[in-house]
Amino acid sequence: MTYSVRFLPYNVSVKVDDNTSLIRAAMDAGVHINASCGGEGVCGKCRVLIEKGNVEGGVSEKLSVEDREKGYRLACLSEVNSDLVVRIPVESEIDTSRLNVQAGSRHTAQVLYADIDELRQDGLFIPPVEKIYLELPPATAEDNQSDVTRIINHLCFKHDEHHLTMGLDLIRKTPEIIRQGEFKITVTIVRPVRKDGKNEIVNIEPFDTSDRNFAIAVDIGTTTVYGQALDLHTGKVLSEHGEFNPQISYGEDVISRIMFAEKGDGLEILHQKIIEIINKIIDRIVKKAGIGQHEVTTITLAGNTTMTQLLLKINPSYIRRDPYVPASSVYPPFHSSQIGIDLADHTIALIYPGVSSYVGGDIIAGIMASGMYRSSELTLYMDIGTNAEIVIGHKDWMVCTAASAGPAFEGGGVKFGMRATKGAIEDFSINPLTYEPMIITVENKKAKGICGSGMITIAAKLLETGVIDSRGKFNQSLDTPRIRKTDDIWEYVLVYKENTQIDRDITITEPDLDNLIRAKGAMYSAALTLLEEIGMKISDIERVILAGGFGSYVELQSAITIGLLPEIDPSKVTYLGNGSLLGCKINSLTNALRRDVAKVVNMMTNFELAATHSYMDHYMGALFLPHTQLDYFPKVKARLEKLRK
């Protein structure tokens, strides 16, 4: 159910889902409401008048009895439950036209292949691991072929299945199971990537269990690990769960983890840590989904090259050493128990292949999930994180590279930086006259810090209102106590300590902005360099796909404003969310995809930025907001000029 909310005096309307908080509705509408605490009703500043319609909640002791009776509510505590007209009290003479600069609408993921029925129609909904129920003719004196031959012949003649094999362990179990099921059995078959490859029978169960076929998808991020349990009949996600990657204790980034792996039993430790957390996630999601561990027939895992090698206990040392060579880009399917994953012996593990030391399986998974390999539009795929991976291309060719963006996008190198968890400032607006902020935090909890997407929006808004200049330096002459110098460092106070969880003023500092500029500069210049290497321009890009846990939160216009993304029609930008996890999910559902994966990996050309002539020049040029060359950003240029007029 969606409702319309009209904000006065700006006369701006927005459509929102029911139970959206009024302050988020305002943010979506691009309407500023002073709100300093993040949304728990603590600061009491976000007072609005409900002129038409009703909201759920919004009443607080911060409001006088009189105000309450008049219909005032706190926007952060009010949930939309009907069409509304809401008036925002204007405390001073404000140019409403200046306040009302509509932000780029948020895009939700347009995921190809997400529609299972479409897959079914195309005949592509054939999971890599299938279950087939067989009613075998029982053995007699006239027909006493071996148990395994009986199964294989039946599959061949009755189910048109060919090139079948069975491993020794399963052959050992077959005679008992076939008799336990009175010659009625369910076989689990792993499909090959090549059409004429071998179909491996990996499990046999007595009687009909063909409706119990489940998969697990796991994205192994440097920071977080996510798992999903999938029903292979409906294609639906039954449950999901995420945890921090416990390897963090041994190194924040991939390089420090590789260095740890090089020492003593470091590799073993990091391998064990990731397996343990995967097992914890599996345990959680199978219980939530109400399925047995033995009913999971396949697990698909994707991660960057280092995460993949640590998962598989492969020495990652050469990844960090010139010329940066990974052990392998493709891995064979194997039994997940082989690496200690706590699933049945027959559960098959499928690992997403990678391209290079810094363009790994997570990116390929994202490319597959995005469908860009089937599109004819020239697409820029960006996975934003500490290590930023960039892929450019379409169905005929693809090039890729990776840049070290630094940890700013993930809350690192930022004084009050944090991951996008409860209380992280994720959205921001600023009153261009009073410079008072509007803060929205994750789950509307009292503010605790700033997450990556918050950083981008804050920087963009500060730039738009002239609080900072294109080098990220504060305008020291503005008349607000929020801009101040502490310990010789200029900063802007986002939330005063009484409204925080941490009992300290939460600020954004010039060094924070410096780190952010370097991070976005690395990404943008990587894209520019890649385009230059293949003789194309940034304006040739027809479509942008953003991925990464971070990418799904980023406010698009802000990202363009600071020069992280190229200037492109926002409708041409797609958020993919966790592309790696999505790729794993799709891989679990359709075996056709696995053939495409091999094609994509083969067509992908990797560039090492360090080996190009222009990367450093492009990088230096990108260390401005949005860029030294404003020609790349004509609309941002015009907008900034208009806002500051």
Asked if 313 touches a second copy (CB under 8 A), the answer is yes
Closest distance of CB 606 from a second copy, Å: 8
Instruction: Compute φ and ψ for 255, nearest 5 degrees.
Output: -60, -45
Closest distance of CB 319 from a second copy, Å: 10
Instruction: Give the dihedral of Cα atoms 279, 280, 285, 291; nearest 10 deg.
Output: 60
Determine which residue in the list 64, 146, 628, 629 makes contact with a second copy, applying CB under 8 A. 146
Closest distance of CB 498 from a second copy, Å: 54
Contact 407, 413 (CB under 8 A): yes
Piece in contact with a second copy (CB under 8 A), picked from 42-50, 53-61, 256-264, 321-329: 321-329
Determine which residue in the list 245, 357, 557, 574 makes contact with a second copy, applying CB under 8 A. 357
Asked if 163 touches a second copy (CB under 8 A), the answer is yes
Closest distance of CB 616 from a second copy, Å: 15
Asked if 315 touches a second copy (CB under 8 A), the answer is yes
Question: Which residue type occupies 105?
Answer: S
Asked if 175 touches a second copy (CB under 8 A), the answer is yes
Determine which residue in the list 61, 168, 290, 481 makes contact with a second copy, applying CB under 8 A. 168
Q: Are strands 214-220 and 224-231 parallel, antiparallel or unpaired?
A: antiparallel
Read off the tokens for 598: 């091999």
How many Cβ atoms from other residues are within 10 Å of residue 359's Cβ? 27
Contact 138, 151 (CB under 8 A): no
How many Cβ atoms from other residues are within 10 Å of residue 351's Cβ? 22
- According to DSSP, residue 216 is labeled E
Determine which residue in the list 61, 95, 97, 149 makes contact with a second copy, applying CB under 8 A. 149
Question: If you search the block for the tokens 């070290």, which residue do you land on?
Answer: 404
Q: Are strands 506-509 and 489-495 parallel, antiparallel or unpaired?
A: antiparallel
Does residue 561 come out as left (phi exceeding 0), alpha (psi in the -120 to 50 range) or beta? alpha
Determine which residue in the list 21, 306, 356, 404 makes contact with a second copy, applying CB under 8 A. 356
Q: Segment 369-388, which members bind a second copy (CB under 8 A)? A: none
Asked if 314 touches a second copy (CB under 8 A), the answer is yes
Asked if 139 touches a second copy (CB under 8 A), the answer is yes
Residue closer to a second copy, measured from CB, 176 or 211: 176
Q: How far apart are CA 80 and CA 18, in angstroms?
A: 6
Closest distance of CB 268 from a second copy, Å: 12
Asked if 162 touches a second copy (CB under 8 A), the answer is no
Total site size for a second copy, rule CB under 8 A: 52
Q: How far apart are CA 239 and CA 14, in angstroms?
A: 32
Piece in contact with a second copy (CB under 8 A), picked from 238-246, 256-264, 424-432, 606-614: 606-614
Asked if 610 touches a second copy (CB under 8 A), the answer is yes
Concatenating the DSSP letter of every residue in 438-467 gives: EEEEGGGPPB-EE-HHHHHHHHHHHHHTTS
Asked if 166 touches a second copy (CB under 8 A), the answer is yes
Q: How far apart are CA 626 and CA 641, in angstroms?
A: 13
Asked if 269 touches a second copy (CB under 8 A), the answer is no
Residue 630: C-alpha distances to residues 488, 616, 645 (Å): 31, 19, 18
Instruction: Compute φ and ψ for 226, nearest 5 degrees.
Output: -120, 140
Closest distance of CB 240 from a second copy, Å: 27
Residue closer to a second copy, measured from CB, 1 or 141: 141
Determine which residue in the list 194, 374, 485, 644 makes contact with a second copy, applying CB under 8 A. 194
**Coil, strand or helix at 77:** helix
Distance of CA 149 to the CA centre of its chain: 47
Determine which residue in the list 132, 171, 237, 643 makes contact with a second copy, applying CB under 8 A. 171
Determine which residue in the list 4, 105, 279, 317 makes contact with a second copy, applying CB under 8 A. 317
Q: How many CA atoms lie within 13 A of 442 on its CB side?
A: 18
Give me Rg for the CA atoms of the chain: 28
Asked if 210 touches a second copy (CB under 8 A), the answer is no
Piece in contact with a second copy (CB under 8 A), picked from 209-217, 314-322, 418-426, 592-600: 314-322
Asked if 148 touches a second copy (CB under 8 A), the answer is yes
Residue closer to a second copy, measured from CB, 264 or 323: 323
Contact 392, 530 (CB under 8 A): yes
Q: How many CA atoms lie within 13 A of 145 on its CB side?
A: 11
Piece in contact with a second copy (CB under 8 A), picked from 58-66, 89-97, 311-319, 413-421: 311-319
Instruction: Give the dihedral of Cα atoms 327, 332, 338, 343; nearest 10 deg.
Output: 130
Determine which residue in the list 61, 97, 117, 141 makes contact with a second copy, applying CB under 8 A. 141
Asked if 332 touches a second copy (CB under 8 A), the answer is yes
Q: Segment 547-576, which members bind a second copy (CB under 8 A)? A: none
Which residues bind to a second copy, rule: CB under 8 A?
139-149, 163, 165-168, 171-172, 174-176, 179, 194, 196-198, 312-315, 317-318, 322-332, 334, 338-339, 356-357, 606, 608, 610-611
